[in-house]
Structure 1
Amino acid sequence: MPRQRQIIAHSIAQRLHAAEEAIDLAAARIAELNAALPLARLEGRLGAAIGQDAFASSATAIMLVAKTRAELVATHDQLKRVSDDIGLGEQAYGDVFKVATGQSQQQPLAHHLRAA
């Protein structure tokens, strides 16, 4: 049974990481679109009202992707707890840097740097 649980956990982890990657790629592509829209307006010498609805919709899309990403991060944390609860312990898949347990993701690492 423990081996079967590890196989299942690995399968779930692969799908979770694929979903996280897809969301990050979507966020990057929408951000590229958001950057291109006002530049295109300026380059085309168009009035500010031209394309405003499209600009607003694209900005809304990036916010929705950010919310979706936050939900996937929460799912990741919840699945980690499930893994612990069923006795699988620490599992690492891939080569992704992870924040240490208890370390806030909001704190910048700049306090480790000094001017030389």
Structure 2
Amino acid sequence: MLKQRRQFAEQVATSLFEAEDAIDAALAKCAALAGVMPLRRKEAGLSALVGQDAVEWTSRSIAALAEARRAICEAHKQLDEAKTQIGLGAVTMNDAGATKPPSGALIRPNLRQVDAA
């Protein structure tokens, strides 16, 4: 029974990671779109009024995706709790090939420790 629960948990984890990746990709694409529209408008010598509605709607889509990202992160936390509830608390569910930082850890690869003076 434990083996079956682990298998089901791995399937859920895989779907969760795919959903997280999809939201991140969509957020990045919308942000790129929001950045390129004003630049190209200016390069084309067009008035700032041209495409303003499109810029606003794209900005709204970014806000909606940010909210979706928050929701999927909350779902992730709840699934982590459920994992413990079904007896798999000691099992780590990682995205294939990904290394998971400790919960709450910030990744700052360019920082280094300095000795006290």
Query: Number of residue pairs matched?
Result: 112
Deviation sequence 1:2-44 (CA, Å, 0-9, x none): 1111111011011001101111111111111011100111011
Aligned to 1:92: 93
Residue 79 of structure 1: SS of its match in structure 2? helix
Report the AA paired with residue 95 of structure 1: G
Aligned to 2:13: 13
Residue 70 of structure 1: SS of its match in structure 2? helix
What is the Cα deviation at residue 91 of structure 1? 1.9
Structure 1 unaligned segments of length 5 or more: list them.
none
CA RMSD of aligned residues (A): 2.1
The within-5 A match list for 1:75-90 is: 75-89=75-89, 90=91
Aligned to 2:60: 60
Residue 68 of structure 2: SS of its match in structure 1? helix
Matches of 1:72 and 1:95, distance apart in 2: 21
Matches of 1:95 and 1:48, distance apart in 2: 45
Matches of 1:95 and 1:74, distance apart in 2: 23
Matches of 1:84 and 1:40, distance apart in 2: 51
Structure 2 unaligned segments of length 5 or more: list them.
none
What is the Cα deviation at residue 60 of structure 1? 0.8
Matches of 1:67 and 1:98, distance apart in 2: 23
What is the Cα deviation at residue 109 of structure 1? 4.0
What is the Cα deviation at residue 100 of structure 1? 1.9
Matches of 2:108 and 2:30, distance apart in 1: 27
The share of aligned pairs that are identical, in percent, is 32
